[in-house]
Structure 1
Amino acid sequence: MKRAGLEAILADMTISEKVGQLLQLAPMFYKGTLTEGEITGPMAEMGITQEVSERAGSVLGSATAAEMIAIQEEYLKTSRLGIPLIFMADVVHGYKTIFPIPLAIGATWDVALAERMADISAREATAAGLQVTFSPMVDLVRDPRWGRVMESTGEDSYLNSEMAASFVRGYQGDATKLAENHEKIAACVKHFAAYGAAEAGREYNTVDMSMRELYQHYLPAYEAAIRAGSKLVMTAFNVVDGVPATGNEWLMR
C-alpha cells in the first residue's frame, strides 16, 4: 500500500481501532468457542468481547491455511476499514521439518546452513498461511540457569550477530521484496534488549549491567538482525537501567 493510502487510513482510524491493532488473540476468539461450554479462569475479567476481537490486529496459534482463511474471511466481514489480520507463530527451529534447536545450530558455526534452515522453515510456514515468525531470538546468554538458553545461538556476541543476520536472510530473502515473495516470512528479532542477562537466570527477572557491557556484548546481535532487514522487533520482558523495556523511551528510540 502506498504511503498516501496508509496515511489516509490512519487519519480515519479511531483511538480504539489503533489500540486494537496492537492486540493479538488466539484462534479460539474467532471460532465461536467463547460461547460454547463453560469459561473458567480470568477470561471474563479480561473483557475481551466480540467488539474487541473485531478490532484486533493479529492472531497467534493458527496452524493450517484452511483455519486462517476461515478466520480471515469472518474477520473482514465486520472490519470497518478492511485491514486484514496478521497470522504469527513461533517458528524457531523448523515448522513441518524439525531442525536442531538454535543452541545446536549456533554450535555448528555454519551461518550458511543456518540460513538454509530458516529458508526451509519460511517455505513450510507460509504454505500453512503464516506471515510472521517470532524468530530469531538473539539474546546473548551466559547463564545456563536461564530456561530459554536453548533458544539462543550461544554466548559469543560475534557468533550471535552472524547467526542473527543469517536467520533473517533465510526467513525473508530480499526484505524489500518480501510482500511479493509468498515463500518468505517476516522475521521478528527478539527480545530487545538484554533479556538473556536476567539475574540468577530467573525468567523475567531484573537485568542490571553497565552501558559498556550492553553496547559491547548485548546490542550487536539486534543491530545485525535489523541491518539484515528484520521487519519486526519484539520488546523484552525485563528492565533496562531500571526501566521496563516495553516502556523505555531511550531504548525504543
Structure 2
Amino acid sequence: QPTGPGTGRTDYEDMIRKGEVGALFNITTAHQVNAFQHIAVEQSRLHIPLLFGLDVIHGFRTEFPIPLGLATTWDPDLVEQTARVAAREASSSGIRWAFSPMVDIARDARWGRMAEGAGEDPYLGELMARAYVRGYQGTHLDAPDSIAACPKHFVGYGAAEGGRDYNSTEISEHTLRQYYLPPFHAAIEEGAATLMSAFSALDGVPSSAKPFTLTEILRKEWGFQGIVDSDYTALGELIPHGIANDGATAARKAFLAGVDMDMVSSLYHDHLAKLVRSGEVPEAAVDEAVRRVLRVKIALGLFENPYTDETKEAGAMLHTDSVALARTAAEESFVLLKNSSVGASPLLPLPGTAKTFALIGPLANDRGNMLGSWAGQGRAQDVITLRAALNERIGSKNLRYAKGAEFLGGTDDQLEEAVKAAEQSDVAILALGENASEMTGEAA
C-alpha cells in the first residue's frame, strides 16, 4: 500500500492491528515510527514488529555527493564511511531499511537514473556495492545504528533502451553474467539483507516475474536467503506489461517467480490468501517467504528492540565530523576533464594576479539543486552555494554574479548580463548542470 505523507491514506492503524502490514516506508520521524510500532507490537495478534524503509540514497540528513559522484572518488573506504553516517542518522529516526545501493550498470548517459549508480564498469560497481552494504549494515545488523541494505534494481534496469527510464531491455545471458550481475553478486556476498526487483522487462519478461533471475540465479546459484521486495507498483505493472490480465494473476506470477514482498500494489494483500486456498500457490511457498521476512526482522533485532529512542534523534543529525566527511567526499569526487593553457601556464590553479571574478550559470546560486536528486531529509537551508562561498572567500566587491540562463531556455537580457560580467572580470566561472528534480533520477 502507498504509505507516508501525501498519499491521503488514513487506515494504517487499523491494518496494522489486523496484521495486514509488515513494512511501511516514507515515515521519517522517530515519533511517527514509534506510534505505528506500538500498535504492531502491542495490539496485533502476533505482535510482529514493523520494518520501516526509506530511499536513503546519498545521505539522510547529512547529504553527500550523488552516488555517481561518490563513485568518481574510486575510494570504497570513503563511500563506506558515508553510508555509515547515513545509517546512523536514518536509524535514529527509526528507519532500519535503506532502498539502496542502486548497483545497476548504466552505459547510456541519457538514462536519468545513471546518477544513482557507479556508472558503466562492473568492477567499480562491485567495489561500490560492497562499500555501501558494509556502511549501511555495519559489523552487526542488530546494532541500533545499522540498517538493512537493499541493492537494486534486479536486474538489467540500467540497460533501458534509448536511455528511457522503465523501457525494456534485451541482454544476452553472457552479457548479463559478465556485466550486469556482478555488482549484485558482490552485494549479496557482502551480506546484503534484502534485494529489490526491477520494474523493467528483461528479454520480454518483467524482472519482477522472472524465475530465471529471481529463483535460479539469486536463490539457487547464489544462495540468497533475504527478502526480495518489488519496486514501487512493479507487481501492479505486470498487467500493462501484458503477462497478467488481473491482479490475482499478477500476484501469482510474481510470488512464484520469487518476490517475497509487494511494495504498494497491494496485490498480495488482496489475492495471496485466495490463491493459497485455491491451490494455485503452495502454502509452503508462503511459509518460506514469511520466513525470509522474519529472518531479516530478527537479524535487525526488532523483536528485542522494536522502538526508537526519540530523545537521541535530533542529536544524531549533522555531526561536525559528518559534515566534514561530506566536504571531503565532495572534494574527492571532483573530475578535472581538461586544464587548458593560458599563455605559458595552465589555467588551474588560478594565478594570484586574478582579482575579479564573474560567476555565471543557473547553478551558481541554487541551494535546492545542490542537494542532488533523492536528497533524503537534506534541507536547502543547510547548503552553502558557490556564490556565497566565493563572496566569503574573495569579497562581494570582487565577484560579479549573473544567472545567464535557466536550465532550459533564458532571455536575451540574461545573456547580456552574463557577457557584461565576464567582460568586466579577470576570470569567468560557469556553474552549469542539470535540474536535479527533473533532469536526473527516476523518470528522467
TM-score, scaled relative to structure 1: 0.79
Higher Cα Rg, which structure: 2
**2:440 corresponds to:** none
Residues in 1 aligned to 2:60 and 2:135: alpha-carbon distance in whole angstroms: 14
**2:3 matches 1:26:** yes
The one-letter code of the counterpart of 1:128 is S
> In 2, are the aligned partners of 1:25 and 1:53 still within 8 Å (CA)?
no
**2:167 matches 1:205:** yes
**2:138 matches 1:162:** no
Deviation string 1:58-96 (CA, Å, 9 cap, x unpaired) is 111111101100111133444211111110001110111
Residues in 2 aligned to 1:240 and 1:83: alpha-carbon distance in whole angstroms: 35
Structure 2 CA distance for partners of 1:77 and 1:183, relative to 1, 3 Å: closer
Residues in 1 aligned to 2:6 and 2:58: alpha-carbon distance in whole angstroms: 27
SS of residue paired to 1:192:
coil
Q: 1:147 deviation in Å?
A: 1.6
- RMSD value, Cα: 2.2
Residues in 1 aligned to 2:86 and 2:15: alpha-carbon distance in whole angstroms: 34
Q: 1:224 deviation in Å?
A: 0.4
**2:181 corresponds to:** 219
The one-letter code of the counterpart of 1:71 is F
**2:193 matches 1:231:** yes
> In 1, are the aligned partners of 2:74 and 2:124 still within 8 Å (CA)?
yes
Structure 2 CA distance for partners of 1:49 and 1:133, relative to 1, 3 Å: closer
Q: 1:188 deviation in Å?
A: 0.4
**1:148 corresponds to:** 113
Residues in 1 aligned to 2:141 and 2:16: alpha-carbon distance in whole angstroms: 30
The number of aligned residues is: 214
Deviation string 1:8-28 (CA, Å, 9 cap, x unpaired) is xxxxxxxxxxxxxxxx54136
> In 2, are the aligned partners of 1:101 and 1:150 still within 8 Å (CA)?
yes
Structure 2 CA distance for partners of 1:146 and 1:29, relative to 1, 3 Å: closer
The one-letter code of the counterpart of 2:121 is D
SS of residue paired to 1:148:
helix
Identity %: 44
> In 2, are the aligned partners of 1:102 and 1:153 still within 8 Å (CA)?
yes
Residues in 2 aligned to 1:200 and 1:103: alpha-carbon distance in whole angstroms: 20
Structure 2: give runs of 5+ residues left out of the alignment: 216-444
Q: 1:221 deviation in Å?
A: 0.2
**2:65 matches 1:100:** yes
Q: 1:131 aligns with which of 93, 96, 120?
A: 96
**2:311 corresponds to:** none
Residues in 2 aligned to 1:99 and 1:26: alpha-carbon distance in whole angstroms: 26
Residues in 1 aligned to 2:105 and 2:210: alpha-carbon distance in whole angstroms: 20
SS of residue paired to 2:131:
helix
SS of residue paired to 1:26:
coil
**2:74 matches 1:115:** no
Q: 1:216 deviation in Å?
A: 0.6
Residues in 2 aligned to 1:28 and 1:108: alpha-carbon distance in whole angstroms: 35
Deviation string 1:187-236 (CA, Å, 9 cap, x unpaired) is 00101001100111111111101111111111000000000000000001
Q: 1:128 deviation in Å?
A: 0.9
Structure 2 CA distance for partners of 1:28 and 1:95, relative to 1, 3 Å: closer
Structure 1: give runs of 5+ residues left out of the alignment: 1-23, 36-47
